[in-house]
Amino acid sequence: MPPLLPFPTLVRRLVAAALAAASLACTPSMAQVAPSLSLAEQMRAMIGKPPAAAAPATTAATTPAPAVSPPVPGPAAVPLLADGPAQVRQSAAELAQRFPPAHRAAMAKAFEESFAGWRKLEAQLGLATNDVAAAVAAFIAGNYAAFMQQQVADEDFKALVRQMQGALGRNAAFAQAGAAAKRAMYEQLAMVGTFMAVYREHLARQPNPAEEVNFRNAAKANLEAGLGLAVERIQIGPQGLIVR
């Protein structure tokens, strides 16, 4: 078996495929559009807010509080599978509707390519196939990487997946959602998260300052809609997502 690729390397290999269809849409007008605000808001309702970092102790000790909070306990962190039939083309088309009409066909294809890239990433990282919590983590990590202009380390991403498994596992609305709704949530969150990570790589290779501003604004809007927090307050690290 060939060695596993680290996440940044895999993303770079996905750039050509995922952006080939989007190349016609790579304009400032495209990047101005946050691709998934309603999707992010749906996600927010399902996962709630991430835990806050511990407050400093009110003692004479000067040691600062930890920068991260503990992840969800292991027994609660299990895959939450979307078992409904695949609807990749429909999911991509629905996301593309949020873009200007002239770019919808290209963006729909780009989202389909991004989902194919996500499937490869699932295998590379040893994630459960069709885990909605992993797709939530992909959405958060992809937009975070786009805004912060840095990749999320593999182990940090896995911690985020476990954290989202716990959050979704405790959510009654998610438990009651139908198979088709869970499938759409899984596919669309994975599509957007992967696309944002890949497009960040594209801008790193082919800088465009004006487009970078618009793109980061889109990532910021996605994160703030999805988490209900100012993006400057969140951090992804070895124990997942925390509020600073």
CB 143 within 8 A of CB 44: no
Give the contacts of 32 (CB within 8 A, at least 6 positions apart).
214, 217, 218
Q: Which residue has the higher pLDDT, 74 or 81?
A: 81
CB 36 within 8 A of CB 97: no
Query: What is the Cα–Cα distance from 105 to 114, expressed in whole angstroms?
Result: 14
Give the contacts of 236 (CB within 8 A, at least 6 positions apart).
140, 141, 144, 152, 156, 157, 160
Give me the pLDDT at residue 37, please.
59
Give me the pLDDT at residue 52, please.
62
Backbone angles phi, psi at 234, to 5 degrees: -100, 155
Residue 14 has pLDDT above 60, yes or no: no
pLDDT grade, residue 230 (50/70/90)?
very high
CA 157-17-7 angle, 5° bins: 20
Q: Helix, strand or coil for residue 167?
A: helix
CB 131 within 8 A of CB 165: yes
Structure tokens that stand for 100 in this block: 């200007």
Query: What is the Cα–Cα distance from 33 to 23, expressed in whole angstroms?
Result: 16
CB 238 within 8 A of CB 70: no
CB 47 within 8 A of CB 171: yes
Token look-up 């002239």 returns 102
Q: Helix, strand or coil for residue 231?
A: helix
Residue 125 has pLDDT above 70, yes or no: yes
Give the contacts of 49 (CB within 8 A, at least 6 positions apart).
227, 228, 229, 243
Cα torsion angle, 183, 152, 195, 218, sign: positive
**Residue 76 DSSP class:** G
Query: What is the Cα–Cα distance from 32 to 177, expressed in whole angstroms?
Result: 32
pTM of the model: 0.78
Query: What is the Cα–Cα distance from 196 to 158, expressed in whole angstroms?
Result: 18
Give me the pLDDT at residue 209, please.
92
Note the pLDDT tens digit of each residue in 82-101.
999 999 999 999 998 888 88
Note the pLDDT tens digit of each residue in 218-228.
899 889 988 88
Note the pLDDT tens digit of each residue in 18-44.
333 333 334 434 444 445 557 887 888
Give me the pLDDT at residue 43, please.
83
Q: Which residue has the higher pLDDT, 70 or 139?
A: 139
Residue 173 has pLDDT above 70, yes or no: yes
CB 218 within 8 A of CB 165: no
